[in-house]
Chain A
Amino acid sequence: MDLAAPINSALKRVPAWPLYPLGAVPVVWILWQGLEGKLGVDPTKAIEHQLGLWGLWLLIAGLAITPLQRFAGIRLLKFRRAIGLLAFFYILAHLLVWLVLDVQIPSLIWADIVKRPYITIGMAAFLLMVPLALTSNNWSLRKLGAARWRRLHKLTYVLAPLAAIHFVMVVKGWQLEPIYYLACVVGLLALRLVPKRLRIFAAPPVRS
């Protein structure tokens, strides 16, 4: 808690809105490099892969916020909406590059979605993100009520592992990098299962 206090007081003065323009920097950088021929000899795959990777990093960052607060006392909650929305936009861009630059042929796109498990899983993860992105605003939060909104946003616990599994299945063979990311996602979800000891000690049993 000693470490967390100065971090939290410093973060208090940092607004969340700059994350949106900052979050656009990598995507612009990736596309620019691709257009300039700086992403190697297969720029389509490189752009597709890097956008997907950013999406996964942001999902993992979003999932890390609650455990960071609970186990380290670092409060990053106000940044979570921006991180989640950025994850959505990166994965949307990843999907568009796949559609437009990679697969190109509409009949192949549908065939791929229904026939290839890793694409089915990736698409499912993306579709589950849509309602979350649409409700990531104050108006929706008020409209739904905090409890219902929170329940809806628990979809993250399903879609983040799906996104990581998609990456594991995309590559040839059992490669380590995607498995590390999957382990990361599973680990962050598992931390949520740790019983809330503090409450057990602080509060008396509910039934007397």
Chain B
Amino acid sequence: LANLGAKPSRYSTVEEPNTLEHITTYNNFYEFGTGKDDPAQNAHRLTTDGWEVEVGGLVDKPGTWTMDDILKGTTLEERIYRLRCVEGWSMIIPWVGFELSDLLNRVGVQSGAKYVAFETALRPDEMTGVSSRVLDWPYVEGLRLDEAMNPLTILATGLYDEPIPNQNGAPIRLVVPWKYGFKSIKSIVRITLTDDEPPTSWNKTQPREYGFYSNVNPSVDHPRWSQATERRIGGGLRARRIPTLMFNGYGAEVAELYDGMDLAKHF
């Protein structure tokens, strides 16, 4: 199976990963439908050949990158991360990728840049879900620059040491393990460095429910459900709820990013 040859990482959890079946058949990727099994059914229509990512904004070397350009000179690592969905379930996922800071350093972030904005491909012919107005397409997300530069933040191109399946965000997606899953934007076509906080899709749709930061936080409930506990996918009908950890258990690496911030206000 060892296909991508990703190197192990000290940031990986030792918890047992979910199976490939769990990870590839239970997805939120609304461009392919709102059901959990819709992406597995519909995402095969997405063509990832010739994929390009436009990197621009406040950078020294703006331009369009092919996947080969992006991967050239990076070392792929396996990052086994917890993923906590805002809906109250979680998985353990062995991503393969590289730190976002690698790419940002290569393009040269200008001193005025404070945020990184991301955009997902919008292809109505291939994405059956975008005919529905459930979100304002294309899907957009954003991070503060220091969050983007944190070593935990990766761009993933693989899963279980194989190229990442379409339903998981092929060919390249963000993974920010201390934030709710929807922050980890899939199938990225644009990365823009900005000086203003960029709009984010779920926040635009329901600002009261989804904040810009969306850090995993058991003490700040979603207005419609508790975030204190989660159900780990894969346990079947007898699975017990487990307590949700602050920053999804990544506090040692990221808590200082938010020193002095009221996280109930900046949720």
- Find chain A residues with CB under 8 A from B123 CB: none
Q: For chain B, which range describes its interface: under 10, 10 to 19, 20 to 34, or 35 or more residues?
A: 20 to 34
State whether A43 touches B25 (Cβ < 8 A): no
Pair A173/B134 contact, Cβ less than 8 Å: yes
CB–CB A112/B37 < 8 A: no
Please encode chain A, from 5 to 35, with 1 for each CB lying within 8 Å of some chain B CB and 0 for all others.
0000000000000000000000000000011
B105 within 8 A of A: no
* B134 engages A174 (CB within 8 Å): yes
With a CB–CB cut-off of 8 A, which chain B residues contact A105?
229, 241
A118 contact set on B, CB distance < 8 A: 224
Contact between A42 and B225 (Cβ–Cβ < 8 Å)? no
B interface footprint on A38-55 (CB within 8 Å = 1, 0 otherwise): 001111110100000000
Whether the Cβ atoms of B135 and A173 lie closer than 8 Å is: yes
Asked whether any CB of chain A lies closer than 8 Å to the CB of B62, the reply is no
Contact mask B7-39 → A, CB, 8 Å, 1/0? 000000000001001100110001000101100
Cβ contact within 8 Å between A44 and B225? no
Cβ contacts under 8 Å, B236 to chain A: 37, 43
Return the CB mask of A92-124 against B: 1 if under 8 Å, else 0.
000000000111110010011001111000000
User: How far, in Å, is A33 (CB) from chain B's closest CB?
Assistant: 11
Asked if B233 and A111 sit within 8 Å, CB to CB, the answer is no
- Is B132 part of the contact surface with A, judged by Cβ < 8 Å? yes
Q: How far is the CB of A86 from chain B (nearest CB, A)?
A: 23
> Which B residues lie within 8 Å of A76 (CB)?
none
A171 to B222: give the CA distance in the assembly, Å. Answer: 13
Q: Whole-angstrom distance between the alpha carbons of A45 and B233 in the complex?
A: 10
Q: Are A175 and B240 in contact (CB under 8 A)?
A: no
* Chain A residue contacts of B205, Cβ below 8 A: 173
**Interchain CB contact (< 8 A) of B224 among A37, A111, A116:** A116
Q: In the complex, what residues of B have CB within 8 A of residue A171's CB? A: 34
Which residues of chain A have C-beta atoms less than 8 A from B2's C-beta?
Answer: none
* Given known contacts A108-B228, A174-B134, A41 and B234 CB-to-CB distance under 8 angstroms: yes
Question: Quick check: A41 and B25 within 8 Å, CB to CB?
Answer: yes
Measured CB to CB, the closest approach of chain B to A175, in angstroms, equals 5
Is the CB–CB distance between B226 and A112 below 8 Å?
Answer: yes
B252 within 8 A of A: no
Q: How far apart sit A115 and B36, CA to CA, in the bound complex (Å)?
A: 26
In the complex, chain B residues whose CB is within 8 Å of the CB of A112 = 225-226
- Among A34, A41, A101, A103, max chain B CB count under 10 A is at A41
Q: Establish whether residues A173 and B206, one from each chain, have CB atoms under 8 Å apart when the complex forms.
A: yes
> Are A115 and B132 in touch, CB under 8 angstroms?
no
Interface residues of B in 228-267 (CB under 8 A from A): 228-229, 231, 233-234, 236-237, 239-241
Q: Is A207 an interface residue (CB 8 A)?
A: no
The answer, yes or no, to whether A128 is at the interface (CB within 8 Å) is no
Pairwise interchain contact B36-A42, C-beta atoms closer than 8 A: yes
Give 4 nearest A-B pairs by CB, closest first. A173-B134, A41-B22, A41-B26, A104-B241
Q: Which residues of B contact A (CB under 8 A)?
A: 18, 21-22, 25-26, 30, 34, 36-37, 86-87, 89, 132-135, 205-206, 221, 224-226, 228-229, 231, 233-234, 236-237, 239-241
